[in-house]
Structure 1
Amino acid sequence: MVNTKTANIEDYLAWRGDLSFREGPFNPVDNLIFSVFAYLPLDGFVPPEPGRQGPTAADVAREFAKLDARAMKVRGFSERMARHISFFRQAAETRRFAGVRLSGFQNRFDKDEETQFAAVSFSLEDGSHYIAFRGTDSTVVGWKEDFNMSFMTPVPAQRLAAAYLERAAQKLHGKLRIGGHSKGGNLAVYGAVCSSWWTRRRILGVYNNDGPGFDKATIAKDGFRALQGRLYAYVPQSSIIGMLLEHSETYTIVQSTQKGIAQHDPYSWTLRGPAFVCVDTVTDTSRFIDTTIKEWLGSLPPEERRKFIDALFDILEATDITSFSELSTNWFQRARAMADAISNLDEESRTMLMKTLGLLFDTIKTNLKLLVPFGENTGNR
């Protein structure tokens, strides 16, 4: 029997997996599950064109079952990816998800264009579709694109998301839901608000699962007003990523079994039945980080944000890493490479970098009052 006090999406499969989508209507937990599926390495398993004739989840799971530990290592799968695959295979054994059809898998990574994008469409037996956008992976390019959102809209992945949604809507008949986790949630919202009237009227809901928001100019778009009541945001109680930038939608705060930034992990979100376990407010740390970053960014003109981010990632790239997971290896050599990169910056860039970091530290000191002195508010009821 599932312990509902600490149940997560893996437990949900045991609790809800025997009900089809006709018997148990789509709910917010299903949304999070499809968002997690967007992280799967579906290249070669799912056709790139959206449509109803793609393989079922059970079909794809059988292909994953053929990958032994050695094959996964050759493909470069991380421990996190192995967990996603295991979770998907469990889901594909349930009545609820086995017959879901996958199509339209697109995966684009371009270092020169600073683009990391992936999306996939799921067709449910009730005639509706869930279009899922992948969140940020561990690559430096993926994170650089996220940082670029602080001074640029749209970034390449947002443009790709809008084009993908419109194409999928042309090919898939029926009602649509759009969502994603982390950056994927941001892409889902951007694609939906930029969609045509014909596409927008078919949208049942847009789900941003702990993904960043937008600048105020983007939120002023007509699409945001047109989708009011159909935009849903979910963040854990110590959210950091999901509190970045501005949100037009009211967010639901979900209880997590983890602490701090680790709450970004969707497997840590707790649920009871077909609903998340919610709390009243985010933690003091979450509010502190949110206020600090917004005030800091507000003190920097967009061009200065761009220069700072470019300089910061130039320093990281001097270590020859392609993924943040590589920072933990050869740490001494990488730290030395970063120090050399800083010293090799021209005087203007180095001055700008130090000044910007100084502004950040000043903002942190100003906002320390947001943290309670004798233990943090955890956000629990």
Structure 2
Amino acid sequence: MANILDYLEWRGDLTLQQAPFNPVDGLILCRLAYVPFDGIAPGPGEGTATIGGAARVLLAQQTPERRAVVSGLWKGDAELLAALMDSGRFSGMLLESYVSELDPEEEKQFSAFTVCLGDGSRYVAYRGTDSTLVGWKEDFNMAFTTPVPAQRTAAEYLRARAAEKPGPLRVGGHSKGGNLAVFAAAFCGEETQGRILEVQNNDGPGFEAAVTAQPGYRRIAPRVRTMVPQSSVVGMLLEHEEAYTVVHSTQLGLMQHDLYSWQVRRTGFVCLESVDEGSRMVDRALKEWISSMTPAQRETFVDVLFGLLDASGAQTVGQLSLGWLKNAGALARTLKGIDEPTREAMSSILKALSHAARHSLAQAFPRGEERRQNDVPAQQDTGFQG
């Protein structure tokens, strides 16, 4: 079994002139979009830096702040940066227009950069959800409103990059970043849209039907390439008009969202025929749950849920977990302070989720098979970054 790190060992020495850009190259850039290049990568209008040079500076660990950034990288990212630094294929690619924004008031988390690939085209890569609660809140907001701030900014970012230079464009991202890539490509305007070669959506959620019915979305849909692992949850959310490719992951459950678990060949992915029954079951349950609520109910649920998390004092998912005993008291006090109508709304929403899950389970398994499934110990999932 091989992943993107193995791919860099196999083909990292080949230039794009020797081996054309392929979806695995795009996956690597989408993972690189999670790396915090603040203070290293140039912003819009500030020039360029090579990927190899930016990786070298980040890994140098010259200051306590830089060491903290490196120690906080996702598992595999440091190894990826080291491999890119020495890669004849990637090290000389030019990194430009790096943007990273976090706005609690606007409930917005957004980051993107653009890479000049060296074959005349540029790749615009959007970051997925980071570990901040602001980022997670914006993701949940997608359940009742479109566009969210990051989606608007994604389209503006793509238009601005297109206006700076001529030439073909590729757009991509992972998780929320994949959603932003598709949204930006759909709503960047016809002139910019006409220059887009393809959009790479790596296990990113879809959109409500009102979005997929828009002319801009319809125009770009044939150029969207969506990849999901066999037990995808995030990538199956909401609606997808485009077809998707199922990629084999070596992880279990939600951890299949981890790009380092996706299996690759020399120029593409190790593919399967379809997602598994567990993914289809969760997809049905979530869609039924969401459709059972009005947009106002969805907004209430999200606001109350993140109000509880905000009461803990945590700013990141990690802080919430590390301080759980301390945070539990604050959460309980906030829960007691919720007014009765909101408490009742939360209760009805959670009941709808429970009903949807039972209904999907009954559809997924015959009676006897369901009993056998219940006899199997549950797999343990851990947290993931999306």
TM range (shorter): over 0.9
| Distance change (3 Å), C-alpha of 1:289 and 1:153 | same
Higher alpha-carbon deviation: 270-279 or 367-376: 367-376
**Cα distance in 2 for residues equivalent to 1:102 and 1:200:** 22
Q: Does 1:280 align with 2:273?
A: yes
Q: Does 1:57 align with 2:57?
A: no
CA RMSD of aligned residues (A): 1.7
Higher alpha-carbon deviation: 309-318 or 331-340: 331-340
**Cα distance in 2 for residues equivalent to 1:355 and 1:280:** 38
Partner of 1:111: 104
Contact 1:40/1:85 (<8 A) preserved: no
1:275-315 alpha-carbon deviations (Å, 9 max, x no partner): 10011111221111111111111010101100111011101
Q: 2:318 aligns with which of 302, 325, 328?
A: 325
1:102-160 alpha-carbon deviations (Å, 9 max, x no partner): 00001110011100000000001111110000000111110100000011000000000
Contact 1:180/1:207 (<8 A) preserved: yes
**Cα distance in 1 for residues equivalent to 2:81 and 2:167:** 25
Q: TM-score, normalised by structure 1?
A: 0.93
Contact 2:84/2:91 (<8 A) preserved: yes
**Cα distance in 1 for residues equivalent to 2:281 and 2:68:** 42
| Distance change (3 Å), C-alpha of 1:151 and 1:168 | same
Share of identical aligned residues, percent?
A: 44
Contact 1:147/1:309 (<8 A) preserved: yes
**Cα distance in 2 for residues equivalent to 1:164 and 1:337:** 39
Q: TM-score, normalised by structure 2?
A: 0.92
Contact 1:121/1:131 (<8 A) preserved: yes
Higher alpha-carbon deviation: 17-26 or 365-374: 365-374
Q: CA deviation at 1:227?
A: 1.6
Q: Does 1:38 align with 2:33?
A: yes
Q: CA deviation at 1:61?
A: 2.0
Give the letter aligned to residue 40 of structure 1: V
Q: 2:252 aligns with which of 252, 259, 282?
A: 259
Unaligned runs of 5+ in 2: 377-386
Q: Secondary structure at the match of 1:135?
A: coil
Q: Secondary structure at the match of 1:206?
A: strand
Partner of 1:250: 243
Q: Secondary structure at the match of 2:15?
A: coil
Q: Secondary structure at the match of 2:271?
A: coil
Give the letter aligned to residue 223 of structure 1: G
Q: Does 1:334 align with 2:327?
A: yes
Partner of 1:379: none
Q: 1:208 aligns with which of 201, 206, 209?
A: 201
Partner of 2:174: 181
Q: Does 1:146 align with 2:172?
A: no
| Distance change (3 Å), C-alpha of 1:175 and 1:50 | farther
Q: Secondary structure at the match of 2:210?
A: helix
Unaligned runs of 5+ in 1: 1-5, 377-381
Q: CA deviation at 1:226?
A: 1.3
Partner of 2:2: 7
Partner of 1:235: 228
**Cα distance in 2 for residues equivalent to 1:156 and 1:62:** 33
Higher alpha-carbon deviation: 206-215 or 323-332: 323-332
Q: CA deviation at 1:99?
A: 1.0
Q: CA deviation at 1:68?
A: 5.4
Contact 1:148/1:155 (<8 A) preserved: yes
Contact 1:212/1:242 (<8 A) preserved: yes
**Cα distance in 1 for residues equivalent to 2:209 and 2:52:** 43
| Distance change (3 Å), C-alpha of 1:94 and 1:179 | same
Higher alpha-carbon deviation: 148-157 or 321-330: 321-330
Q: Secondary structure at the match of 1:272?
A: coil
Q: How many residues were matched structurally?
A: 369
Give the letter aligned to residue 12 of structure 2: G
**Cα distance in 2 for residues equivalent to 1:74 and 1:275:** 34
Q: Secondary structure at the match of 1:228?
A: helix
Q: CA deviation at 1:173?
A: 2.2
**Cα distance in 2 for residues equivalent to 1:174 and 1:145:** 32
**Cα distance in 1 for residues equivalent to 2:291 and 2:64:** 49
**Cα distance in 2 for residues equivalent to 1:313 and 1:230:** 36
Partner of 1:17: 12
Contact 1:50/1:172 (<8 A) preserved: no
Partner of 1:3: none
Q: CA deviation at 1:366?
A: 1.2
Q: Secondary structure at the match of 1:290?
A: helix
1:339-350 aligned at under 5 Å gives the runs 339-350=332-343
Give the letter aligned to residue 368 of structure 1: L
Give the letter aligned to residue 242 of structure 2: E
Q: CA deviation at 1:370?
A: 4.0
